[in-house]
Amino acid sequence: MISSSSLIRAWFATAITCLAAAGMSMVSPALAETPAETPIEAFATLPDFSGAKLSPGGGSVAYSVQYEGRKAVIFQNLDGSERGLIPAPEDSEISSFYWANDRVLLVKVGALMRRSEFRDQTFNTRIFSFDRETNNFLWLGKPKRRLRATRSGNEHVSLHERIVDFLWEDPDNILMAMDFDLNGESEVFRVNVRSGSRRPVRRERNNIHSWHTDHNSEIRLGIGFRSDEWFTIYKTEKDGWINLDKTDWGKKYDFEGFSPDPQIIYVSGQTDSGTKGLFSIDVETGEIIEKLFSHPEYDISSVTEHPITGHVSGVAYVDDHYRITYFDKDLALIKRSINKALPDTVNYIAGQAKEKRLYLIYSASDTVPGAYYLFDRDQGQLHFITSAYPNIDVTKSAVTRRVDIPVRDGSTIPAYLTIPHHTDTPRTMPTVVLPHGGPQARDTADWDYWAQFLADRGYLVIKPNFRGSTGFGPAFQEAGENQWGGLMQDDVTDATHWIVEKGYADPNRICIVGASYGGYASLMGVIKEPDLYQCAISVNGVTDIPSMKANDRNFIGGKAWGKKWGLEGKRDEDISPYDRAEEINTPVLIMASRDDRRVPYDQSAKLHDRLEKLGKETRYVKIESGDHYMVTAASRATLLSETEKFLKAHIGND
């Protein structure tokens, strides 16, 4: 049943009070006046409530909020008796957080750093602990001496701190990987989360970047990189450390997690249907013990961890939405119960208390941007907590539909149409073609702030999953390797022609828009198909292929990655928008984040400068925050407002 007990009312009231104190407003759907268009700020804002996690004892919850335009963490007791806010450290962004125990929260932050040894910036992660009783915010990986950055070969190294094991049976300590020599090789320490004291557990080993523990918290596996290749080592009971990539089966499978038996691990690999599934395998013999999960159309995306033990409890995959299949019978039973209560959304267990039968449930769909519930198993009650975006009126959300599009070589690619809420069947509408970034990524039917904003403004949006996208089987993904400006671009073009032929899009009002690789695809779209698009928008896009590859070679893995992108049989200059700028005869809006750590912002600036010198119609907007992924409200607001003005000027929304 759905109820609103006094406990939940107290919790939610406290959440509202805390958000209001942080300078945020809450809108009551019953009282709010619905405008013709939803304000930009409603789409640009970060979620008011996301990533919620229950404390081990079940008496408290922590969750992310927007605070002064950036992500912060709020913690509070469920009875409303205590609450507090943890803002991001200066010049850093909070990426994740965890409960170490009922008293201490662990907060992972990321920041760009420039060192005198390198001319480039490196991205670094740090882990802090926050003690609720003392308000002590402690950097757990703080070095005891001054560090000097080094290179691994000729490659820059970023400093990454990572939690290896939460040691759930020892709540005052964790195992944590750190790289004090800044050489890309991690050491593992046992760290006290309250005092910060630490002792080494595993010294660095050549070229190992990440370590993993088995169910007994013993360091059992390491993943490293050398000679332009990733490799995996494993500690066997009989022979000690072995290189799995030198076994007959090691190159065929990727490590995913540990079983209770340390000799048997979970791996992902190709199934008979051509998709990636999950198997258990005997490490020493290479024998497949069991195929645990496979889907005939979609790859698994990851294994899922039990919210208490951290052990593998299920597998995730994406069809049109993110799905979880639980192996744990108890979690599977709970999910079935939740699905009966919430049949119109995709639901999964986001957290569980260790000492109480309380569960956090996350629920979402193409029209629901995310909602949280608390399931009290003892009472058999499901309590609504709040929406991730309470200022979004879900009754106005655009519906997103899956379509399968035939392309020129006889293949079929999946795509998603986001249709303005006042439209049942689109007819000759102003249209935005929105190829995703990556390109090793994919789009889904889930609620998306950018597509929803465009639909709210009256545009039909199509998001094609071109070859090279992930999740549809290795063959689909590998078809996109070395096809920048080639087959991947052709798939986007064919999707555009399809939407015109169907009568959905007005052929005279189409703009191609994208970020990262999607920005590249937008620019190449107007180069290769000058009569198909009336405008293009590139956000943090790759514009100069040769210089981007040169930049990537400075970082670990960059050389290997560079071999997979380009266009077979063509020079990099042939597929580089910067080198083909004279062919751009369509209005172009170029936006770039100053602190982008993935694609240097000068990629965008220098293309704009060249277009201006060539007398082309171009506009450049430098975004002061948000990094590559637009993680601040200010960066998203700029993105959306500039997009709106540009689209209205060139394809209209009447």
Give the model confidence (pLDDT) of 121-156 as tens digits.
Answer: 566 789 999 999 999 999 998 887 655 555 444 444
Q: What is the pLDDT of residues 484-501, one digit of tens each?
A: 999 999 999 999 999 999
Domains and CATH numbers, the chain: 398-650 (3.40.50.1820)
Which tens digits make up the pLDDT trace of 508-519? Answer: 999 999 999 999
Q: What digits encode the pLDDT tens for the residues 418-467?
A: 999 888 889 999 999 999 998 999 999 999 999 999 999 999 999 999 99
Whole-number pLDDT of residue 308: 85
The per-residue pLDDT for 556 is 52
Q: Compare 88 and 206 and report the one with higher pLDDT.
A: 88
CA distances from 547 to 75, 481, 552, 573 (A): 45, 19, 9, 10
Extract the tokens encoding 561.
Answer: 């990655």
User: With 50 as the cut, is the pLDDT of residue 118 above it?
Assistant: no
Question: What is the tens place of the pLDDT at every residue in 161-210?
Answer: 899 999 988 999 999 998 766 666 788 999 999 999 999 998 766 788 88
Say if residue 115's pLDDT is above 70.
no
The residue with greater pLDDT, 645 or 633, is 645
Identify the weakest region by mean pLDDT among 17-26, 110-119, 183-192, 262-271: 17-26
Q: Do 351 and 359 meet the contact criterion of CB atoms below 8 Å apart?
A: yes
Collapsing DSSP to helix, strand or coil, 92 comes out as: coil
**Strand ranges (DSSP E) for 5-55?**
50-54
Give residue 596's pLDDT.
76
Residue 68 pLDDT class (50, 70, 90 cuts): confident
Residue scoring higher pLDDT (537 or 229): 537
> Poorest-confidence range of 260-269, 563-572, 644-653?
563-572
Asked if the model's pLDDT at residue 558 lies above 60, the reply is no
In Å, how far are 174, 340, 345, 356 from 168, measured between CA atoms? Answer: 8, 32, 32, 16
Q: What is the tens place of the pLDDT at every residue in 71-86?
A: 899 999 988 888 899 9
Binned at pLDDT 50, 70 and 90, residue 235 comes out as: very high
Do the beta carbons of residue 464 and residue 501 sit within 8 Å?
no
Residue 568 has pLDDT above 90, yes or no: no
Can you say how many angstroms the Cα of residue 222 is from the centroid of all Cα atoms in its chain? 24
pLDDT in the model for residue 67? 86
User: Which helix (H) or strand (E) element contains residue 490?
Assistant: helix 487-501
Task: Give residue 24's pLDDT band: very low, low, confident or very high (50, 70, 90).
Answer: very low
Q: What is the pLDDT of residue 553?
A: 57
Tell me which residue has tokens 């975006």: 389
Q: What is the pLDDT of residues 209-234, one digit of tens each?
A: 889 999 999 999 999 888 778 889 99
- Percentage of the chain lying above the pLDDT 70 cut: 87
Looking at this protein, which amino acid is placed at residue 62?
A
Question: What is the phi/psi pair of residue 212, to 5°?
Answer: -135, 145
Segments in 248-405 forming alpha helices (H): 329-341
Walk across the sheet containing 358-364 and list its strands: 2-3, 381-387, 371-376, 358-364, 346-352
Give me the long-range contacts of 402-405 (CB less than 8 A, separation at least 24): 402/320, 402/445, 405/464, 405/494, 405/495, 405/498
SS3 310: coil
Lowest mean pLDDT among 133-147, 331-345, 371-385, 463-477: 133-147
Is a pLDDT exceeding 70 seen at residue 286? yes
Helices (H), 301-369: 329-341
pLDDT for 369 = 94
For the cut 50, the answer to whether the pLDDT of residue 157 exceeds it is: no
Query: What single string gives the DSSP state of each residue in 403-427?
Result: EEEE-TTS-EEEEEEEE-TT-SS--
Average pLDDT of the segment spanning 318-329: 96
pLDDT at 607: 95
* Mean pLDDT for all residues in the chain: 87
**Given this model, what pLDDT does residue 209 score?**
84
- Closest C-alpha among 613, 641, 617 to residue 39: 641
- pLDDT at site 593: 86
Least confident residue range of 8-17, 95-104, 276-285, 529-538 = 8-17
Task: Report whether 149 contacts 124 (CB < 8 A).
Answer: no
